[in-house]
């Protein structure tokens, strides 16, 4: 996959005015910023996403002539500062949890150490990229868990918040265990399996519903999923069964039918019966329309015989929690640990590490936030150096590898944290060393 | 502004499998699809956005060699269909409400009439583009109304749902009356005024808060807004006032101070008093942190002396209603009006027009959805032909012109529909002619 940088103007103006302020005073000392998520009432755990984009963007960061001309046109910046930007590259260090890692509130998931101007300017991009992709991966993980092994397909593209949103949702959901996406561009860019067959409009272009099915089956003898609710779902199921039987006689095979409205639990049972009586017990029932982790969980609790779900809008915008309270805070500057005391927004100073402890028989037990150079016995440090002197130190792993990492990670997380509507706080402590620094 | 097309693979796979189905049967008749928003409990009105992107994308639509190679690699499509896609351009007609138009549930805001394959393939792009930009313009209009004339600045970039989300939020909020954005790239691309000065990190890089202010003022003698809550807001205000007085002596001028945490109503009054006593009554108070239309309305109801608001995350993802239930439905095919009867998802068949009636003394009275070729006396038709034979019939208006249109539109909307937490349904009727078609 080729990466197209969005460029350093993807930033808040204040990053650049601050940079001009630092530049005017020759402040070029090293700063460390810590990126973390504050508590979210609707989530017991989060899943990291976005690191690949972060590394590729930072590695390619430079101001173009057009960028500089625009900045000059604002009248805010002097020639000397603009010349500095022209030559500037990102030369810092990034330590981060790999994508697909489970994390909790207040844990740093990424730390940047770089000359203050470089570290400052990338703030907005980092927050946007890591925040959004982690938001969706976290939501998707809940859906996957609720589906208890049934495949999920990302159907969200039409209602995601913009183009990039649609692409990143496809990637983030696949990372968290979705089986496929309807998003063709994401299929091309990320190699994610694509899925989809027909909408209501296809059925409507034929004078008779059955003719639409017959016609579609001729074009896709092995890959047809008939949408059966355009007029009446039960009648649609009967027609689909008739066409499915005919297909079998011709050596073809109906893959499934899809329900897209009405009482999913009741309808899926009726449709299953119709299909089974027609000898089509291998024809799967897909369901879509308004699914998220809550609705999936509800219909499955009622034993609805649904084999796969199309999960769209509510997942694609993380409707119950449409943003993470993600922040990027200065924790160390010019060899001095710093912190902020604004009410409700106090931060932990110092370069940090997150240490994860497991139970002897497997399963996560607790995390400790400590100092970057600490070593805590029996714990695994989660932040790794992924960029050094502005260069990526390891090629980013493939999406499949990230997906496998997440799956393993998730199997280690206690079931009590996976419950959808119960707030359960995973134990995250602070090391003695880190505590000492705060008190100074 | 140059437009970069996202390309026709930005679509759901089923659009292409349906297209292959139409192609296999030589179905090339004209179809009309109608794009509209279903009712939303949290909104009394909506504002159109996204049309400029729609027109530019459709005018440039073509499958590249890479696109076709990817589609071939899926194994789903035959050579004949892929050749058809290779030559395909969008040759249809688009009728739409201009950007910045106020609209209501069930009203078609855009209709496409084109050969079925072309009209089908663009569905996902149209829904995503018009849906998201209208979502944000609608949310932003509420914020602007709540601020009652005080300028608003879009601060959302760090937490929008992806890159494109951030850019489109800046454009959509400006369209709806925001004064500026912190988003530098949006400033460059759309010519929107940019705004921003300092974050907490700037203050923290100095051993003393006051030194940070002094330093910043040296770099930006006319464009400094000091952030005063890093340690203690009231103390920060005193320091800012001292520096502001010194600036004045030097012929400079402090623009403002910014509050970013705590009890905004109480703090803004204390800070105003401190500034006024220092003779700095022209120094403005900016407020940010968690603002949306509700919080703006609340602090202003308490007479908080806040002059301008930075409005971020909750607006940038439309947190109280993070998606529109926007759909694109086949309403006419091959000379036949069609409709869908799925429970809760019934659509109005036929090519349509929306007619708006005003009161004699100004102000919108009621809308009527009718047939495209009807004329209703005393009403203004809202859908205009903006693309014909695949070509844009009018250059899209400038963003300033759209912004002015919205402002005028909004002044015609009754105050009862602008209330934030009261559901009030604007009267939208159906013409006799349109009703007749439904009953056939």
Q: Which of residues 216-235 of B touch A (CB under 8 A)?
A: 216, 218-220, 223, 229-232
Selection from B283, B238, B241, B290 nearest residue B261 by Cα: B290
CB within 8 Å: A340 and B163: no
Output the tens digit of pLDDT for each of chain A's 440 residues: 689 999 999 999 999 999 999 999 999 999 999 999 999 999 999 999 999 999 999 999 999 999 999 999 999 999 999 999 999 999 999 999 999 999 999 999 999 999 999 999 999 999 999 999 999 999 999 999 999 999 999 999 999 999 999 999 999 999 999 999 999 999 999 999 999 999 999 999 999 999 999 999 999 999 999 999 999 999 999 999 999 999 999 999 999 999 999 999 999 999 999 999 999 999 999 999 999 999 999 999 999 999 999 999 999 999 999 999 999 999 999 999 987 676 666 688 999 999 999 999 899 999 999 999 999 999 999 999 999 999 999 889 999 999 999 999 999 999 999 999 889 999 999 999 999 998 87
Pair A110, A352: CB distance under 8 Å: no
Altogether, the residues listed in chain A come to a count of: 440
The domain defined by B13-136+321-439 folds into nicotinate phosphoribosyltransferase (3.20.140)
Measured between CB atoms, which of A159, A166, A198 is closest to B326?
A: A159
CA nearest A268: which of A243, A222, A237, A247?
A237
Report how far residue A177's alpha carbon sits from residue A400's, in angstroms, rounded to the nearest whole number.
Answer: 10
- Tell me the three-class secondary structure of chain A, residue by residue: CCCCCCCCCCCEHHHHHHHHHHHHCCCCCEEEEEEEECCCCCCCCEECCCHHHHHHHHHCCCCCHHHHHHHHHCCCCCHHHHHHHHHCCCCCEEEECCCCCEECCCCCCEEEEEEHHHHHHCHHHHHHHHHHHHHHHHHHHHHHHHHCCCCEEECCHHHCCCHHHHHHHHHHHHHCCCCEECEHHHHHHHCCCECCCCCHHHHHCCCCHHHHHHHHHHHCCCCCEEECCCCCHHHHHHHHHHHHHHHHHCCCCCCEEEECCCCHHHHHHHHHHHHHHCCCCCCEEEECCCCCHHHHHHHHHCCCCCCEEEECHHHHCCCCCCCCCEEEEEEEECCEECCCCCCCCCCCCCCEEEEEEECCCCCEEEEEEEECCCCCCCEEECCEEEEECCEECCCCCCHHHHHHHHHHHHHCCCHHHCCCCCCCCCCEEECHHHHHHHHC
Contact at CB, A215 and B21, closer than 8 angstroms: yes
What one-character DSSP code corresponds to residue B98?
Answer: P
Q: How far apart are the C-alpha atoms of B63 and A435, rounded to whole Å?
A: 58
The CATH number that domain A197-284 falls under is 3.20.20.70
pLDDT value at residue A1 = 61
Name residue, tokens 């940090």.
A352
Q: Which two tokens stand for residue B386?
A: 């903006």
Q: Cα–Cα distance between B135 and B116 in angstroms, integer?
A: 28
Adjacent-strand bridge partners of A155: none
Is the four-CA dihedral B10, B14, B15, B19 of positive or negative sign? Answer: positive
CA A176 to each of CA A50, A153, A306: distance values in angstroms, whole numbers, following the listed order: 13, 12, 21
> So where are chain B's domains?
13-136+321-439
Q: How many CA atoms lie within 13 A of B438 on its CB side?
A: 15
Phi–psi pair at A92, nearest 5 degrees = -90, -170
Would strands B336-337 and B46-47 be described as parallel, antiparallel, or unpaired?
Answer: unpaired
Q: Which of A11, A70, A164 sits opposite B164 (nearest CB)?
A: A164
d(CA A223, CA A220): 5
User: φ, ψ for residue A266 (rounded to 5)?
Assistant: -65, -45
Dist CA A189 CA A4 (whole Å): 12
Residues 6+ apart with CB under 8 A from B270: B233, B234, B237
List chain A residues with CB under 8 Å of B165: 132, 161-162, 164-165
User: What is the distance between the terminal CA atoms of chain A, rounded to a whole angstrom?
Assistant: 47
**How do B336-337 and B326-333 pair as beta strands?**
antiparallel
| DSSP helix/strand/coil, B104 | coil
- Are the C-beta atoms of A305 and A272 separated by less than 8 Å? yes
- A25, A131, A204: best mutation site toward chain B, by most B Cβ within 10 Å? A204
- Going B342 to A313 to A295 to B36, the CA torsion angle's sign is negative
Hey, is B330 helix, strand or coil? strand
Q: What is the DSSP letter of B359?
A: -
**pTM of the predicted structure, to 2 decimals:** 0.98
* Neighbouring C-beta atoms of residue A258, cutoff 10 Å: 25
Among chain B residues, CA nearest to A116 = B205
**A13-135+324-346+382-421 sits in which CATH class?**
alpha beta
CA angle B11, B14, B16 (to 5 degrees): 70
Residues B55-112 have pLDDT tens digits of 999 999 999 999 999 999 999 999 999 999 999 999 999 999 999 999 999 999 999 9
For residue B224, the tally of other CB atoms under 10 A from its CB is 26
B13 touches chain A (CB under 8 A): yes
Backbone torsions φ then ψ of B244, nearest 5 degrees: -60, -40
User: What pLDDT score does A342 carry?
Assistant: 67
- Residue A12's nearest CA partner among B381, B160, B368 is B160
Q: For chain B (length 440 residues), average pLDDT per consecutive 10?
A: 91 98 97 97 97 98 98 98 98 98 98 98 98 98 98 98 98 98 98 96 96 98 96 97 97 97 97 98 97 98 96 98 97 90 77 97 96 95 98 94 98 97 93 90
B268 neighbors B305 (Cβ within 8 angstroms): yes
**Spatial separation of the C-alpha atoms in residues B397 and B424, rounded to whole Å:** 32
Written as six digits, the tokens of B114 are 């084109």
Report chain B residues whose CB lies below 8 A from the CB of A165.
Answer: 132, 161-162, 164-165
List the single residue in A with minimal CA-CA distance to B131. A159
- In this predicted model, what pLDDT tens digit does every residue of B266-289 receive, in sequence order? 999 999 999 999 999 999 999 999
Contacts of B84 in chain A (CB under 8 A): none
Match 């959808």 to its residue by tokens: A420
Interface check for A28 against chain B (CB to CB < 8 A): the answer is no
- Chain A, window 96-125: residues with a beta carbon less than 8 angstroms from a chain B beta carbon: 116, 120, 123-124
Report chain B's C-alpha Rg in angstroms. Answer: 25
B194: β partners: B181
C-alpha span between B300 and B293 (Å, rounded):
11
Q: Is the CB of B334 inside 8 Å of chain A's CB atoms?
A: yes
Neighbours of A41 (CB within 10 A): 7
Contact between B196 and A22 using a beta-carbon 8 Å cutoff: no
Is ipTM beyond 0.95? yes
Nearest residue in chain A measured CA to CA from B72:
A188
Closest C-alpha among B176, B137, B180, B138 to residue B155: B180
Q: How far apart are CA B329 and CA A199, in angstroms?
A: 10
Which residues does chain B have within 8 Å of residue A313's beta carbon, measured at their own beta carbons? 323
């Amino acid at each position: 996959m080729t990466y197209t940088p969005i460029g350093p103007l993807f930033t808040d103006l204040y990053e650049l005015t601050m940079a001009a302020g630092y530049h005017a005073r020759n402040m070029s000392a090293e700063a460390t910023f810590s990126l973390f998520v504050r508590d979210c009432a609707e989530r017991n755990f989060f899943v990291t996403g976005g690191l690949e984009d972060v590394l590729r963007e930072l590695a390619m960061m430079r101001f173009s002539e057009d960028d500089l001309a625009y900045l000059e046109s604002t009248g805010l910046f002097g020639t000397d500062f603009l010349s500095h930007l022209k030559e500037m590259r990102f030369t810092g260090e990034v330590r981060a949890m790999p994508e697909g890692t489970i994390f909790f509130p207040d844990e740093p998931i990424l730390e940047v150490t770089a000359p203050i101007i470089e570290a400052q300017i990338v703030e907005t991009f980092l927050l946007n990229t890591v925040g959004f992709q982690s938001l969706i991966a976290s939501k998707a993980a809940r859906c996957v868990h609720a589906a208890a092994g049934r495949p999920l397909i990302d159907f969200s593209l039409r209602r995601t918040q913009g183009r990039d949103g649609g692409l990143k949702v496809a990637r983030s959901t696949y990372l968290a265990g979705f089986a496929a996406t309807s998003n063709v561009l994401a299929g091309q860019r990320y190699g994610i399996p694509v899925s989809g067959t027909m909408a209501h409009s296809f059925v409507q272009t034929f004078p008779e519903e059955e003719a639409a099915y017959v016609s579609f089956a001729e074009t896709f003898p092995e890959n047809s999923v008939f949408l059966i609710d355009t007029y009446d779902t039960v009648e649609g199921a009967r027609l689909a069964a008739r066409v499915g039987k005919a297909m079998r006689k011709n050596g073809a095979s109906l893959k499934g039918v899809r329900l897209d409205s009405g009482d999913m639990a009741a309808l899926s049972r009726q449709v299953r019966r119709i299909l089974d009586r027609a000898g089509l017990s291998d024809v799967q029932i897909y369901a879509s329309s308004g699914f998220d982790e809550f609705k999936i969980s509800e219909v499955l609790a009622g034993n609805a015989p649904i084999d796969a779900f199309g999960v769209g809008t509510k997942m694609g915008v993380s409707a119950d929690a449409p943003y993470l309270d993600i922040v990027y805070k200065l924790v160390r500057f010019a060899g001095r640990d710093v912190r902020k005391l604004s009410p409700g927004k106090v931060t932990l100073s110092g370069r940090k590490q997150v240490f994860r402890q497991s139970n002897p028989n497997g399963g996560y037990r607790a995390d400790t936030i400590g100092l970057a150079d600490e070593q805590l016995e029996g714990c695994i440090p989660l932040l790794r150096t992924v960029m050094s002197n502005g260069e990526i130190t390891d090629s980013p792993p493939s999406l499949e590898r990230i997906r496998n990492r997440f799956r393993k990670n998730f199997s280690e997380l206690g079931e009590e944290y996976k419950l959808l509507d119960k707030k359960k706080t995973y134990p995250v402590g602070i090391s003695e060393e880190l505590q000492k620094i705060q008190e100074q």
